[in-house]
């Protein structure tokens, strides 16, 4: 398996533009997480899906952020409109939760810069 | 309240020495899992070791071991025989299995620097 695949790896956009980050989890995994990492706030959990259903989106900063998981192999995180304070590295991670637990595997991250 | 606390923002260790990175956690669930991840300067998140709350023995993976003290709610990472390649950020994380919420929560991290 190729692991968790995120795209794009880098994104530079102007304030006010819409940004869409994409994630393909590992096949067979039923949990998917979106995290945001900044120097000031560390790794923040934005939203968590289990079996494609959003379970906890309490970490989504505000209504400008939205996430979808239309099927088990694809998820998006959208920011509209983007602001400079959204600049961060966004990670997607997936894991299998069933009988017992396994570690979460992370994608390479998307480095977002909003200017 | 923070669920995961890592009190050491930065640590230094001499090459070939052992080092302990501290992690305490807060949960009322009986069933949970504890993880350690490494993030080198290249940015990827690398899984190191896992400890389940019901595991009676401390987890070990090669040079990594997890010193699990359930009553004290601590899950310290021990790296033996440090190598220069161990220089990185290290994150402790917890996944709680109660109340139907299985989110994975991370601490702020500890930056480890291995000195030749």
Question: Looking at the complex, does the CB of residue B64 fall below 8 Å from at least one CB of chain A?
Answer: no
Low-confidence ranges of chain B (pLDDT < 70): 1, 98-102
Rounded CA-CA distance B93/B34 in Å is: 6
Q: Which pLDDT value is given to residue B29?
A: 87
**Residue A57: closest C-alpha in chain B:** B103
Burial class (CB in 10 A: 0-12, 13-18, 19+), A73: middle
Question: Looking at the complex, does the CB of residue A101 fall below 8 Å from at least one CB of chain B?
Answer: yes
Inter-chain touch B106–A45, beta carbons under 8 Å: yes
Question: Looking at the complex, does the CB of residue A100 fall below 8 Å from at least one CB of chain B?
Answer: yes
Inter-chain touch A42–B44, beta carbons under 8 Å: no
Q: Which pLDDT value is given to residue B62?
A: 96
pLDDT band at A101 (very low <50, low <70, confident <90, very high): low
Tokens of A88: 């961060």
Does the structure show a pLDDT above 60 at A96? yes
Report whether A79 contacts A64 (CB < 8 A): yes
Within 8 A of B52 by CB-CB distance, chain A residues are: 100-101
Q: Which pLDDT value is given to residue B20?
A: 98
Question: Looking at the complex, does the CB of residue B8 fall below 8 Å from at least one CB of chain A?
Answer: no
- What are the residues facing A65 on neighbouring strands? A79
- Mean pLDDT for A60-73 is 94
Q: Which pLDDT value is given to residue A62?
A: 85
Question: Looking at the complex, does the CB of residue B38 fall below 8 Å from at least one CB of chain A?
Answer: no
Q: What are the pLDDT digits (tens) for A8-65?
A: 999 999 999 999 999 999 999 999 999 999 988 889 999 999 899 998 888 898 899 9
Nearest-CB residue to A97 (from B91, B102, B108): B102
Q: Which pLDDT value is given to residue A68?
A: 97
Rounded CA-CA distance A18/A23 in Å is: 17
Q: Which pLDDT value is given to residue B100?
A: 57
Q: Which pLDDT value is given to residue A1?
A: 63
Tokens of A15: 């304030």
**Residue B55: closest C-alpha in chain A:** A100
Q: Which pLDDT value is given to residue B37?
A: 97
């Amino acid at each position: 398996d190729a692991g968790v695949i995120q795209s794009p790896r880098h994104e530079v956009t102007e304030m006010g533009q819409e940004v869409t980050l994409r994630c393909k989890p590992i096949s067979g995994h039923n949990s998917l997480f979106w995290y945001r990492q900044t120097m000031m706030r560390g790794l923040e959990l934005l939203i968590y899906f289990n079996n494609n259903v959003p379970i906890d989106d309490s970490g989504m900063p505000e209504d400008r952020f939205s996430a979808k998981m239309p099927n088990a192999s694809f998820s998006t995180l959208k920011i509209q409109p983007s602001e400079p304070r959204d600049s961060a590295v966004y990670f997607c991670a997936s894991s299998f939760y069933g009988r017992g637990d396994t570690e979460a595997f992370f994608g390479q991250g998307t480095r977002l810069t909003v200017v | 309240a923070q669920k995961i606390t890592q009190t050491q923002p930065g640590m230094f260790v001499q090459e070939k020495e052992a080092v302990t990175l501290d992690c305490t956690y807060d949960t009322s669930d009986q069933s949970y899992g504890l993880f350690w991840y490494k993030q080198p300067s290249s940015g990827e998140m690398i899984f190191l070791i896992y400890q389940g709350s019901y595991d009676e023995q401390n987890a070990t993976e090669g040079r990594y071991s997890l010193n699990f003290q359930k009553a004290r709610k601590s899950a310290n990472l021990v790296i033996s025989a440090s190598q220069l390649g161990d220089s990185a950020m290290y994150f402790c994380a917890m996944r709680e299995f109660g109340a139907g919420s299985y989110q994975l929560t991370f601490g702020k991290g500890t930056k480890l620097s291995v000195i030749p």
